[in-house]
Structures are given as structure tokens and as C-alpha cells.
Amino acid sequence: MRRRLTDRGRSMDWEQATALASPHVVKIETPTGYGTGFLAFYNSDRTWCGIATAAHVVSHADDWQQPIRIRHEFSQNPVFLTSKDRVVFIDPQTDSAVILFLKGDLQLPEIPIALLPVDAPLSVGVTVGWLGFPVIQQSTLCFFSGSVSARLDPGKAYLIDGVAINGVSGGPVIHCHNSDTIQFVGAISAYHANRATGETLPGLLVASDLSHFLDVAMSVRSIDEANRRKREFESTQRPDAQAQGSPADEADPNPAE
């Protein structure tokens, strides 16, 4: 049985952590592919939810107003979202996105897992796990683990000693906060393979932090407000994106999705 020691020395079972996190994870399908996402927050009466994922999972579908399907292992039926059924907040610079929509019959947990505050980032060497639907087993939620190799402050991301297979993009990165609780600390963005010798050798995983998700959760209170906030957000992001490009795109020719 795989265990890790928490900062206080008590053991945490990764099997238990996976069982706690799995009901919060969804598969996000678009006409051109799919990725992974997770429940980030609800509004005050839990009538609509915010699903966090990687921007490159949903950006094309959102740009072209294509449908998005949300599949949840613990719900009887998937949720089909047209462009009018959702509001998507995308931050290309951190490869982060939030999908806002009415929860309907989606049987998500009533209480989301706590998100790690951005002012308390993980330290180098901390062990983390992550979940996603890899393309080699598209209908199976899989668990991975590794250690934080570095914190990229300008890019609001972590480098992690682990793998990210296509389809896992947007999946939650999990930290065992103590012996019986977990936190979501990031979202899978990309995998940098080591090609220094001309061969594909083990590399590093890139995970965005939760800054974008926390910003959206703090600023949005209704779907109507979400539409207005999205227009404001895009108007401020567009000049920066045109001037600087997307760091995620520049650094990652092979995203995990």
C-alpha cells in the first residue's frame, strides 16, 4: 500500500486520497478531442458550478462556439453544453480555463475540495499526485504521482518529476494536506520531454497553479455577471497576449491534451 508522510509526519494513503478526489473529476469532450477537469467551486446556492481545466482543452471549442460534453463517472448522464449554456473564462498565459454552467443533474459532491491559496505555494520536494483520463485508456480515470521539482513564479506553474499523457490535461494535482484531508494545488498543463540527445527521454510535467480559478471564483456571482466579466477579462487579456504570446504555447510544443 503506497503511503506518503505529511509535513507533520503522519502517513497518508494515496489510495484514500484518490478515493476522495475522484468524485470531483470530470472528462471534458469537444468535437476535436478531450481532456480532464475538476470541480473548483459553486455559487452560493449550488445551482451552477465552475469546472477547472487547461485552456487548450476547451479554447478551440469556445472560440468556434462548439458544444462541450461533461462526463462524470458518478452521474447517470453526461451534460451537453452549447455555447449558450456555458461561460468559459480562459487565461492563455497560464493555460487555465473555468467552465461555468448550471449543474442540473450532474451528481457532483456538495462540498468542493479546498484549493491551495496562491500565497502558500508548495515547496520543492513535496510529493503530489494527479488524476486524468489518458488516451491509452480513455474511459478510465488514472492516478499518477511525482515530486515538485521547481516553482515557476513568473509562469504561475510548477515543474513536477512525473508524466502527463494525452488526455490528462486539466486534471487536478493533489497534495495530502494532513492525514485525512487533501487539497487541489494545480492543474495539468503540459509535458516537456527531454530531447537533448535526439531521443525522447523522461522529462518534466508542467502544472499551472490555481490563481486563475481562484480569481474567477472570487469575482463571479451569477451567469449574467459571468458573461459581463468574461468580456472585461478578454478585453484586458488580448493586448497582453498579442504583445507577449502565450508562455504555455511557447514552452510546450507537446501539450498533454
pTM of the predicted model, to two decimals?
0.84
Going along the chain from its start, the domains and CATH numbers come out as 3-20+113-208 (2.40.10.10), 23-111+211-251 (2.40.10.10)
pLDDT at 236: 80
Per-residue pLDDT of 89-121, as tens digits, reads 999 999 999 999 999 999 999 999 999 998 999
Q: What is the mean pLDDT of the chain?
A: 87
User: pLDDT (tens digit, 9 = 90+) per residue, 24-82?
Assistant: 999 999 999 999 999 999 988 888 999 999 999 999 999 999 999 999 999 989 999 99
**What order do you get walking across the sheet with 33-42 strand by strand?**
79-81, 68-71, 25-30, 33-42, 48-54, 96-102, 86-91
b/e 4-34 (16+ beta carbons within 10 angstroms → b): bebeeeeebebeebbebbebbbbbbbbeebb
User: Which pLDDT value is given to residue 201?
Assistant: 65
Identify the H or E element spanning 95. none
pLDDT of residue 250: 36
Beta bridge partners of 35: 28
